[in-house]
Structure 1
């Protein structure tokens, strides 16, 4: 049997425009390190440390612990791919442009696993500017939207969620990632237990334009009648993690099935 392998699938080191229903600053940045399945124990059992480096002495540690909404730093299990990814959200402003590098040190004493990307400022200015100009229009366009209840005779599987994309409102191209969880508010949104999500980073393997100017998703997972569900849709400038410079976290919305 082959030994477990520590391999990085891709790296996000990008700006975040935080438009969640919290008092946090709008201008943030994040790191997301996605790993391949190891072929053995979960990846967090193989890792000693994860360190991010950037321009002008930038350095930060990504914790080897479960990610929670409170710590915003740790690993998340994606059951759809049987793999883990690590995320660190930092409410310390947008990133300086330049190269960012991740070094993952394995517990077995082997060579560090390394990935890097170059952050650019231009895409943030374009995407955030377009979003701020049309924020309310986008929010109001979601259906089912905040507080909606599905009709009694409506299907509970194959439910469509629709919205107006920036390409229609402003001519700004962008990519969209939809995540749905059980719950009635952001406080109940469990990143570790998504009910369904639209993984454009995997879809792009067979569809290079996956997520581009997307204005609807079909939730293939069945919804329980009467149960509350909460979602948010992330807007990015790319459907490849390593090419992403900006993520816009739109406000959560909830509806009842």
Structure 2
């Protein structure tokens, strides 16, 4: 049985959004992701900083989506990544992904998802190949060329943040069925993916998600997520419950073409009864 996934898988954060876009095609590997990720989940809120490794830190990220119609979690022997200048990295297929390890598995349907972060810093540009080795001797490879220019990160660092809602949201009703969310966007083109969850264990955006805009699922729509700075979330939000939300910024809305991703600060709010 899969163990409970901790808060910062996201991010994945980041690319768990693409899971619905995967297609069963007879192959073991549906998608292979290589990019550099910048963690800004605490923003300027020093009281929130609980893990210095993730405070304004840039790391390499590698992930694979496997076809669950072709393979199960007990079939996998190893997941190995090779890159430029004899670089190598092993994604752990036996342990659940968690914040302390930043390497492991998470269950999805209809594919399996595994990811690992290179905590020594960003990845070098060049060609990366992942090899899935099964216990029955079968293996499969998939390659991707990383072309990270850091243009998105440079523009992000110039951004003046503003997020709404944050703190208390009042209503005369027992609950809200929709709510508007707003944020400032970077200069130039970028893609934005929105997440909203119940604030349980700091926001488990896989287990407790109640609204999500999946820009990869609609990758057939060229401009899905492009230059967005607001969204209306249609979800039942109850009084006195804590909620958490954030927005990922990416340089592409096509899974295999993403080179940069930025995880913006987590924001929290609670629905309260308006005073009569």
Interval containing the TM-score (normalised by the shorter chain): 0.7 to 0.9
Long gaps (5+) in structure 2: 1-25, 43-50, 272-276
Paired position in structure 2 for 1:201: 216
Distance 1:102 1:204, change over 3 A: same
Instruction: Tell me if structure 2 keeps the 8 A contact 1:144–1:150.
Output: no
Match of 1:132 in 2: 157
Distance 1:131 1:154, change over 3 A: farther
Distance in structure 2 (CA, Å) of the matches to 1:40 and 1:94: 32
| Runs of 4 or more above 3 Å deviation | 152-155
Q: Distance in 2 between matches of 1:133 and 1:47?
A: 43
User: 1:94-146, CA deviations, whole angstroms, 9 ceiling, x for partnerless residues?
Assistant: 11110011111122222x12211111132x2x111110001xx23x2x2113x
Note if contact 1:179-1:194 (Cα within 8 Å) is conserved in structure 2: no
Aligned length: 235
- Note the C-alpha offset of 1:222: 2.4
TM-score relative to the length of structure 1: 0.82
Q: CA RMSD in A?
A: 2.3
User: How do residues 104-123 of structure 1 correspond to structure 2 at under 5 angstroms?
Assistant: 104-110=132-138, 112-122=139-149
Greater helix content = 1
**1 or 2, which has the higher strand percentage?**
2
Structure 2 contact 27–70 (Cα < 8 Å) conserved: no
TM-score by length of 2: 0.77
Checking the alignment, whether the CA contact within 8 Å between 1:27 and 1:92 is kept in structure 2 is no
Provide closer, same or farther for how the CA distance between residues 13 and 150 of structure 1 changes in structure 2, counting only shifts above 3 A: farther
Is 1:76 aligned with 2:103? no
Classify 1:70/1:129 alpha carbon distance in 2 versus 1 (closer, same or farther; 3 Å): same
The residue matched to 2:176 in structure 1 has which SS? Answer: coil
Counterpart of 1:30 (choices 51, 58, 61) is: 61
Alpha-carbon separation, structure 2, partners of 1:40 and 1:120 = 31
Equivalent residue, structure 1, for 2:264:
250
Question: 1:15 maps to what in 2?
Answer: 36
CA 1:120–1:109: 2 relative to 1, 3 Å: same
